[in-house]
Amino acid sequence: MNTIDEILDYAIDQEQQAADFYEEVAKNAETASMKKILLDFSEEEKHHKKILQAVKTGEHELTPQQEILDLKIADYLVEVEVSKNISYQDALIIAMKRERAAYELYTDIAARVPEGHLREVLDGLAREEEKHKLFFETEYDERILTDN
């Protein structure tokens, strides 16, 4: 994975995989309301994929320098299992931890490549994932940690 296009293709594929993951979990979810939530998550990932496709064609620019708020909620919550009767709380934990893992991956790779356009793209991708993580963390803060 050396060229910028290859990296973007990888990132696009990751977003598609995430969308597929939520669709799969939705298929097994017991209630229609949870199915809908998981399908909404899947749509969110497809939206991310579209953004990256737009980056590849030059229609959208990444923002590698942008500072994103890190609520650090995903850092200290336990890993949870995917199950048929998954709760909204657990679905959010899975989502924010996936985004965190993706963010760390791009950050790690960026640290290993020399300064230049390639690193900027990787940093930009890391920022994107950080934004997605913030979205789920904010939702968790707002809806789950109501009394805390």
Contact 92, 139 (CB under 8 A): yes
Q: Least Å distance between CB 77 and other proteins?
A: 5
Token pair 């939705």 is found at 26
DSSP state of 62: -
Q: Which of 39, 51, 77, 118 binds other proteins (CB under 8 A)?
A: 77
Contact 103, 49 (CB under 8 A): no
Does 70 help bind other proteins (rule: CB under 8 A)? yes
Within 105-124, which residues bind other proteins (CB under 8 A)?
Answer: none
> Which residue stretch of 5-13, 14-22, 49-57, 63-71 sits at the interface with other proteins (rule: CB under 8 A)?
63-71
Q: Least Å distance between CB 96 and other proteins?
A: 11
Indicate left, alpha or beta for 3 from its phi (over 0: left) and psi (-120 to 50: alpha): beta
Structure tokens at 147: 């009394």
Nearer to other proteins, 16 or 138 (CB): 138
| Sign of the dihedral through C-alpha 80, 83, 88, 91 | positive
Q: Least Å distance between CB 107 and other proteins?
A: 17
State the amino acid at position 11 in one-letter form.
Answer: A
Does 78 help bind other proteins (rule: CB under 8 A)? yes
Nearer to other proteins, 36 or 50 (CB): 36
Angle CA(121)–CA(55)–CA(74) in degrees, nearest 5?
60
Contact residues for other proteins, defined by CB under 8 A: 30-33, 36-37, 69-72, 75-78, 80, 87-90, 93, 138, 141-148
